[in-house]
Chains A and B, each alone.
Chain A
Amino acid sequence: MSQTQSQSQTKAQSQRYHVIHETLYRYGAPVSLSQHLLHLTPRPFDFQRTLHHQIEILPAPMERKEHLDWFGNPSQWITVRQPHATLRLIAASTVDVLARPLSWRHAGSPGWETVAAQLAAFPSSAPLDAQEFALPSPQAPLLEEVRQWALSSFTPRRPLLSATRHLMARIHGEFKFDPKASTVSTPLAETFKNRRGVCQDFSHLMISALRALGLAARYMSGYILTHPAPGKPRLIGADASHAWVAVWCPDNGWVGFDPTNNCQPDLEHALLGWGRDFGDVTPMRGVILGGSSHKVEVQVTMMPAESRDFAELLEDVKKRSLVQAPEEDSAP
């Protein structure tokens, strides 16, 4: 990293953010017991450090246990054992996001077939996690039509990162962003056929395409900074969860690609964790006993740390009722 830092005088080398992720469950009837598995704690890695992190839960859980999952993501289980009609979680963090090396954008990379061959070999010289992320997973299955479609970006001997960038641009160009087109369980084949979806669908599609070619790709779960319209203030709750992709390159390690925004994540993407697909890093999943129906509301605020004091911002979020939150029609 230190070599690349000196190359860019104009570009900031890091950015500090406050991220507040609030989740509210409302149950039709009181629930006597609920157990949840959370992936709401930012995972530190080469390009991100955590300065502060807390999760507040109401009503307070009887049991709470932290754990690192198979992929190394921090997760936690909570159990609420008193009758409750709502469950509110506020995960709040301050993180530093670090700039990626410029070489990721401009330098060459090995031909994609070479990388695929390295991953497919047994025994393989690629790291175990790269070998694992080259395999299909429940929400990113291998589809022949997707492979065929991807091949026009992966022409013979094309450098891996250049081909991946091309694929990303095609997803961005050929697919329409449409929050009404999909749900968390829309199958990949449908996304591909309808040519529309949201960040999660586009990431799954890109992962599936890369894996179908024998390459290793992982699902990155996190947040992205949104920019208010010129002259408008930055609003609380105006941001959203986001997803992108990282592809394994023998020279660089894991390189990020954001097919929803046709960019490579740098200073505006904050990471929660990674997995094979959404299913491995679902921010919150759980089991409830009782309760006739349930509704979930989620509100995310991501702010450059210099613009607000953390404690004040958190107070503001808590004071707001989720019901008044604006419709999220401009999610990334």
Chain B
Amino acid sequence: MPKQLFSDYPQDSQRFDEMFVSAGVPRPHYAGLYARLTRQSVTQVRDLFSEVDRQVRDNGITYNVYDEAEGGSRPWQLDPLPLIIPADEWRGIEQAVIQRATLFNRILADLYGPQTLFAEGRLPPALILGHPGFQRPAHGIVPRNGVHLNLLAVDLARAPDGRWWVINDRTQAPSGAGYALENRIITSRLHADLFRELRVQRLAPFFAALRDSIASYAPHDDGQTNTVLLTPGPYNETYFEQAYLARYLGFPLVEGQDLTVRDGCVWLKTLSGLRRVHAIVRRMDDDFCDPLELRADSALGVPGLMDVVRRGNVLLANSVGSSVLETGALTGFLPGLCEHLLGEKLAMPGAATWWCGEAPAMEDALEKADHLVFKSAMPQTHGRRFGPVFGEDLDKAGLAALSAKVRAAPREFLAQELVALSRVPVLDRQQMRHLVDRSAGMRVFAVATPEGYMVMPGGLARTSSEHDVRLLSSQRGGGSKDVWVCGEHAASPLSLLRRPVSATDLVRSGAGLSSRVVENLFWFGRYSERCDNLARYLRVALGRVTDNQETPIEWAALAAFGKQIGILPKACDERDAIRPLLRSVVDSSVAGGLASHILHLSRAGFQLRERLSTDNWRTLNALARSVEKKPHEDVGIYEAMALLDELITSFMTLAGFTLDGMTRDHGWRFLSLGRRIERLQFQTEAIETAMRMGEEGNPEWLLEISDSIVTYRSRYMARPEWLAVLDLLIADEANPRGIVFQTGGLRDYLKRLDESLGDMPDTGIEALHTRLLHLDPEKDFHPGSASLQEALATLRSASAELSNQISLHFFSHSDESVRVIA
């Protein structure tokens, strides 16, 4: 077995192999993993991998890929074998990263302050002042405690001699720490015993340090610090991670329009008004942060934010303008800067780099172009992107074209020596039988704390795609691994909630929810109820569609209702409804159909990602996947019915989470308002349509759609009679599908909101509720009752009005769009 698993794995020593010293001889810290792999059968190994894939899928871990229509997202690629680093080796890496972060912070402080590095000729002004990432409005701002760089990510690679090199720096809004955490959760479960044996160091203390130091650096007004995570929005490539981190760290995830600047401070728009924000951890690029002072063509950020930062009234991590350090062109200057600013030798080298903005360097680089890789020195330059170009891939004409390109704008380019990346085994996903070799690099994270920088003991290992072993890019299809740092002592089981919670931290009501989150919860409630209603309708309609000629009155009513709720096209011939019904189930391109509503639901859920539990997520993910598949042309009734059964179970599960798994705060109340309003509208319309059949019509289908057939039969054991049906569906306060159940619920929720938020508009729901309860069954519960018809019509318009009022009252300020003008 072991032979087979490693049969395709190369044995040469051209690259450093992370796992093996030589053919078949694992490094000491890999011995345990190797032994386990060789003991297992092919099936067991394969199970390991499918388990990882299942967890990734179930948790909905995704990475959004650009250039795919409508922001395609792809499951996160995680290989189950960790990258293992011994303790003593890690100490060196840790020290080097701490030094680098400290150095970078000093450089930023100079560039956005006295600029002595220019005056002393240590850094070419053209490299910084000509870099679009240098943010002039940030000059002169001294951040709180002098920390410009709260969070740093460094990409490392290992050369054939075993030494680590820096290949990239991420200085403005580093991503990846959340993915590292997700990888850890999955990988540590897969190899739980090995994880303990190796005393793998925990990641939680790093995140605790991040949270604590942000809180300690932030301005305090009354002892409490509100920190938010600022996202560019759901279409950003790492939105999943941002939502995940927000939930993990307990920071509300906000978009620019959720925040506003007033009286020199930043405020979060919440249900109960404005709430002061003391610290912003941003995942938004520098130039998008403030449309007033920075990039004027985007309304993504928070207008006026820079001024609040300048006044010291908010902590912005990292400080605006830090992206200028991401340029690889700095590499050549760092050793000198390190000696000058820190009085130390630079501990970890970067790959030899030529910045073409210096004429002699450019000539030199172009001379040996076929041995170098060319990159953009200023990736943000006027939207021009220039991917890494390997000189060795180019023919004579290609090299000449490259040379011309570089000479036309030399400052914008740099050339680097190729660093051969180290080799790691990953499982071949196609065959699931062998381990194949990929190149690997490691992203390591550091956070500023009052005691200096702290490095995450672990990180995100990134592996090359099969197409190009020279590149590590999630955008280009590379994969990832967890990084295990072996401990010298047993790791302490420290959880994130280390700081004792004080009474001021207790937030019970949910009044601090942002208006946008509340709006999304409301619509999430409406969509989940609507999906359930549509699925029930479709199940009833498909069950009757083949023999519809036998009950023409009932079928006509059912079809009419289908048209009213948008399942059947208005012009559809009732006798020929099979195809539109089936398509509504499976084809998400049919507007107003069930499948398309499921996509709406999952989109609304996506916006609420950080507020939904993992279990909730799994269900939503499964729902979305069931309709994302391309519909095949001739889906049969049997198949569609089976799918509907499955979907309805999922909808019930979602409803169950709402009922049993959510805290009864205002957020929950809005979600429930959404559900009740939706159900009220659906039920009212169904009853009205059914009543139009008249006395001779059989209301059985109405009972089925209303999920009340079982209750009815247990009570009456007879063919449905109008009096009993209408009583059950309208006036029975115990029937969760009944009308008064909805109106009663709405009345109670509105009362609670009115008590704590005040000024709820009166939409007459309470009066209608009372009126329904006082209907006289003998007189009013028959299809011809004018007073019942009138009551139902009033109810329908009142519920629509209630929905409007809620939007106006609570959501309107998050709805107004920000526009940039000149």
A37:B136 contact, CB within 8 angstroms: no
A287:B292 contact, CB within 8 angstroms: yes
B816:A32 contact, CB within 8 angstroms: yes
For A65, the chain B residues whose CB sits under 8 A away are 307
Tell me the complex Cα distance, A184–B821, Å: 12
A184:B822 contact, CB within 8 angstroms: yes
B130:A70 contact, CB within 8 angstroms: no
For A32, the chain B residues whose CB sits under 8 A away are 816
B408 interfacial by beta-carbon distance below 8 Å: yes
Given known A128-B125, A131-B129, A287-B299, contact A142–B822 (CB-CB < 8 A): no
A69 interfacial by beta-carbon distance below 8 Å: yes
B818 interfacial by beta-carbon distance below 8 Å: yes
A138 interfacial by beta-carbon distance below 8 Å: yes
| Binary CB contact string for chain B from 806 to 821 against chain A (1 if under 8 A, 0 otherwise) | 0000000000111111
Number of chain A interface residues as a range: 35 or more
B292:A35 contact, CB within 8 angstroms: yes
For B409, the chain A residues whose CB sits under 8 A away are 136, 142
B263 interfacial by beta-carbon distance below 8 Å: yes
B820:A287 contact, CB within 8 angstroms: yes
A144:B292 contact, CB within 8 angstroms: no
A144:B408 contact, CB within 8 angstroms: yes
Number of chain B interface residues as a range: 35 or more
A1 interfacial by beta-carbon distance below 8 Å: no
Q: Which of B153-176 contact A (CB under 8 A)?
A: none
For B292, the chain A residues whose CB sits under 8 A away are 35-37, 77, 285-287
For B754, the chain A residues whose CB sits under 8 A away are none
Given known A65-B307, A291-B819, contact A285–B129 (CB-CB < 8 A): no
B125:A131 contact, CB within 8 angstroms: yes
Tell me the complex Cα distance, A70–B296, Å: 17
For B408, the chain A residues whose CB sits under 8 A away are 142, 144
CB distance from B445 to the nearest CB of A (A): 32
For B136, the chain A residues whose CB sits under 8 A away are 69-71, 280
B767 interfacial by beta-carbon distance below 8 Å: no
A332 interfacial by beta-carbon distance below 8 Å: no
B126:A286 contact, CB within 8 angstroms: no
CB distance from A288 to the nearest CB of B (A): 6
CB distance from A21 to the nearest CB of B (A): 15
Closest to B264 in A: A63
Given known A122-B358, A123-B121, A132-B129, contact A287–B139 (CB-CB < 8 A): no
For B816, the chain A residues whose CB sits under 8 A away are 32, 289-290
B291 interfacial by beta-carbon distance below 8 Å: yes
CB distance from A43 to the nearest CB of B (A): 16
A284 interfacial by beta-carbon distance below 8 Å: yes
Q: Which of A274-329 contact B (CB under 8 A)?
A: 279-280, 282, 284-291, 294, 296
Tell me the complex Cα distance, A290–B812, Å: 11
A135 interfacial by beta-carbon distance below 8 Å: yes
A236 interfacial by beta-carbon distance below 8 Å: no
A136:B130 contact, CB within 8 angstroms: yes
For A141, the chain B residues whose CB sits under 8 A away are 382
A331 interfacial by beta-carbon distance below 8 Å: no
For A122, the chain B residues whose CB sits under 8 A away are 121, 124, 126, 358
Chain A, interface SS category: mixed
| Binary CB contact string for chain B from 783 to 822 against chain A (1 if under 8 A, 0 otherwise) | 0000000000000000000000000000000001111111
Tell me the complex Cα distance, A279–B303, Å: 17
Given known A63-B263, A184-B822, contact A287–B303 (CB-CB < 8 A): yes
Tell me the complex Cα distance, A70–B138, Å: 9
A69:B359 contact, CB within 8 angstroms: no
Tell me the complex Cα distance, A77–B263, Å: 13
Tell me the complex Cα distance, A25–B125, Å: 39
CB distance from B293 to the nearest CB of A (A): 6
CB distance from B167 to the nearest CB of A (A): 25
Closest to B302 in A: A287
Tell me the complex Cα distance, A79–B820, Å: 14
CB distance from B91 to the nearest CB of A (A): 37
Closest to A147 in B: B408
Closest to B125 in A: A131
A120 interfacial by beta-carbon distance below 8 Å: yes
A65, A122, A128, A184 pick with most chain B CB within 10 angstroms: A122
Closest to B123 in A: A122
B304 interfacial by beta-carbon distance below 8 Å: yes
B139:A70 contact, CB within 8 angstroms: yes
Given known A135-B130, A285-B822, A287-B291, contact A35–B121 (CB-CB < 8 A): no
Q: Which of A79-138 contact B (CB under 8 A)?
A: 79, 81, 120, 122-124, 128, 131-132, 134-136, 138
Contact of B821 among A63, A77, A81, A285 (CB under 8 A): A285
CB distance from A273 to the nearest CB of B (A): 13
B260, B816, B819 pick with most chain A CB within 10 angstroms: B819
Tell me the complex Cα distance, A76–B669, Å: 44
Tell me the complex Cα distance, A65–B819, Å: 22
Q: Which of B385-409 contact A (CB under 8 A)?
A: 408-409
Tell me the complex Cα distance, A63–B264, Å: 9
A120:B359 contact, CB within 8 angstroms: yes
CB distance from B631 to the nearest CB of A (A): 40
B118 interfacial by beta-carbon distance below 8 Å: yes
Tell me the complex Cα distance, A289–B818, Å: 5
Closest to B139 in A: A70
B137 interfacial by beta-carbon distance below 8 Å: yes
B125:A294 contact, CB within 8 angstroms: no
For A287, the chain B residues whose CB sits under 8 A away are 291-292, 299, 303, 818-821
A138:B818 contact, CB within 8 angstroms: no
| Binary CB contact string for chain A from 30 to 65 against chain B (1 if under 8 A, 0 otherwise) | 001101110000000000000000000000000101
Q: Which of B18-53 contact A (CB under 8 A)?
A: none
A71, A282, A285 pick with most chain B CB within 10 angstroms: A285
Contact of B304 among A77, A128, A134, A296 (CB under 8 A): A77
B272 interfacial by beta-carbon distance below 8 Å: no
B115 interfacial by beta-carbon distance below 8 Å: yes
For B125, the chain A residues whose CB sits under 8 A away are 124, 128, 131-132
For A284, the chain B residues whose CB sits under 8 A away are 822
For B819, the chain A residues whose CB sits under 8 A away are 287-288, 291, 294
Tell me the complex Cα distance, A101–B822, Å: 37
CB distance from B295 to the nearest CB of A (A): 10
B382:A138 contact, CB within 8 angstroms: yes
B126:A135 contact, CB within 8 angstroms: yes
Tell me the complex Cα distance, A323–B681, Å: 51
A288:B822 contact, CB within 8 angstroms: no
Closest to A132 in B: B129
Q: List 24 A-B contacts (CB under 8 A).
A: A32-B816, A33-B260, A35-B303, A36-B292, A70-B139, A122-B121, A122-B126, A123-B121, A135-B129, A135-B411, A141-B382, A279-B296, A282-B296, A285-B820, A286-B292, A286-B821, A286-B822, A287-B292, A287-B818, A287-B819, A289-B817, A289-B818, A290-B817, A296-B821
Query: 3 closest pairs, A vs B, by CB?
Result: A123-B121, A70-B136, A135-B130
